[in-house]
Amino acid sequence: MLACLLILKQPNYGYALLDQLDQSGFAVDANTLYPLLRRLEKQGLLTSDWNTEESRPRKFYRTSDQGLTLADALRRDWEELHAAFHALKEES
């Protein structure tokens, strides 16, 4: 979820997001991603707009202000956990 919120600071559509996640080392199946995107949108963490200018319509998602706030909090929590694990590793 955090990876999606961070990547979608810039608008993107589902298939491109799948590709970007995969290139970043997060292998996610489309059958997992699309329900997640709908759930995040329903929770107000993402916004979406349809782009009908191309040959086929695409739904572009973007992280909302509420999503950005959550992403920042989750990122800080992740960094604190990473530091704690690193400290444990150094102690042993």
pLDDT at 91: 81
CATH number at residue 55: 1.10.10.10
**How many whole angstroms from its chain centre is CA 80?**
20
Q: Is the pTM of this model over 0.95?
A: no
CB-based contact 5:70 (threshold 8 Å): yes
pLDDT at 90: 86
Number of domains in the chain: 1
Residues 6+ apart with CB under 8 A from 87: none
Q: Which domain holds residue 38?
A: 2-91
pLDDT at 54: 84
pLDDT at 22: 96
Secondary structure (3-state) at 64: coil
pLDDT at 28: 95
- Helical packing angle, 14-23 and 30-42, nearest 10°: 120
pLDDT less than 50: residues of the chain? none
pLDDT at 20: 96
